[in-house]
Amino acid sequence: MKKVIMDVDTGVDDALAILYGLESGQLDMLGITTVNGNVPLEMVNANTLKVLSLAGREDVPVHPGADRPLLRASEHVHHIHGDDGIGNALDDFVYSNRCEEQFAADFIIEQAKNHPGEITLIAVGPLTNLALAFRKEPNLSEWLDEVVIMGGLVSEMGRGNKLPNSEFNIFTDAEAARIVFHSGTETTLVSLDVTKQTLLSNSDIDTLEGGKYHDFVRQSTEVYRAFSKERFNLDGCALHDPLTVGYVLNRDFLRTEKHYVDVETISSLGYGQTICDFSNLWDRPPNVNICTDVDGEGFVSHFLETLGKEG
């Protein structure tokens, strides 16, 4: 089984990504690290613990990380993820698992050192924890097998979700993203270009009826689906974070190409933009695998099958 650590800002689609990863049975989830993002860190921690408990996986350790971006102030998105970050789907849920003491970045470093070349780091929130870890431990990039990140947009300019050219995770901590993109680790960016082609519709949710996660999926995505309709006229919500896990489970879901990619950190119009040098104008070595195509249907079917498995 592939050893993974997930770095999350749970978040509706983070929650779905965690459940997808756990229920796939293909991943050895060494731990989950949390980061400020969609909602404040305290909420991210609680949501992550609740989701693990819902899955019956209280054995997975949760390590709290950065409670703010490296330099900028946070902008949370309750209007997409709900008051608590998971659409209030687990408001009265009783859970007894608790966070670990060890800081997220230290956990990542420790595990990577203990399992050199074996760990895939799946990052589906702002990249603050990863940046701190890379800065603290210069050998980290050699110890990690790869980093798979949900973030950015590279081809669909003007179709960002935070600024016209910026995606939320990268926008939230663009300085951190810059550090990670230049870390030297094998890095894949699962960007909005492809994640927006993976919609979870009402009828998709119906197929989970009778299953363990039907109520959670329906309720947690309610605010998110309403927002997606109103803002982007979408009939469903994009499975950004689950697709990132999907790629780790099955490489055939995405087509990738390696290019030089950098992050804008200065301009107020373009802060957090991921710039891909397709024509190699800068003449720099490729550092990031970007996604050029997605098997959206195949992925969504696998996601639904995986979450629908148990009754």
Residues with catalytic function: 240
Match 């006229």 to its residue by tokens.
233
DSSP E strands, 82-184:
119-123, 144-150
And the tokens for 248?
């780790």
Which residue in 155, 147, 173 sits closest to 6, CA to CA?
Answer: 147
Segment interacting with Ca ion (CB under 5 A) among 9-17, 66-74, 216-224, 259-267: 9-17
Q: What's the rounded Cα separation, in Å, for the pair 257 and 231?
A: 30
Choose between 76 and 115: whose C-beta lies nearer to Ca ion. Answer: 76
The residues pairing with 146 across neighbouring beta strands, listed in sequence order, are 120
Is 14 a residue that touches Ca ion (CB under 5 A)? Answer: yes
Contact in structure between 223 and 87 (CB atoms under 8 Å)? yes
Q: Which two tokens stand for residue 107?
A: 């956990």
Does 173 contact Ca ion by CB under 5 A? Answer: no
Which phi and psi angles does 305 have, rounded to 5°?
-60, -45
273 secondary structure, DSSP code: B
Shortest distance, position 177 Cβ to ligand BDR, whole Å = 12
Residue 36 CB, shortest distance to ligand BDR, in Å, is: 12
Taking CB under 5 A as the criterion, the residue among 7, 11, 43, 304 binding Ca ion is 11
| 193 contacts ligand BDR (rule: CB under 6 A) | no
173 near ligand BDR, rule: CB under 6 A: no
Site string for Ca ion, 231-250 (x = CB under 5 A): ----------x---------
Question: Residue type at 91?
Answer: D
Residues of this chain, 239-268, that bind ligand BDR according to CB under 6 A: 240-241
Question: Angle 100-172-170 (CA atoms, 0-180°, nearest 5)?
Answer: 100
**Residue 124 binds to Ca ion (criterion: CB under 5 A):** yes
Instruction: Catalog residues that contact Ca ion under the rule CB under 5 A.
Output: 9, 11, 14, 124-125, 241
* Residue numbers at the binding site for ligand BDR (CB under 6 A): 11, 13-14, 38, 77, 80, 124-125, 150, 161, 167-169, 240-241
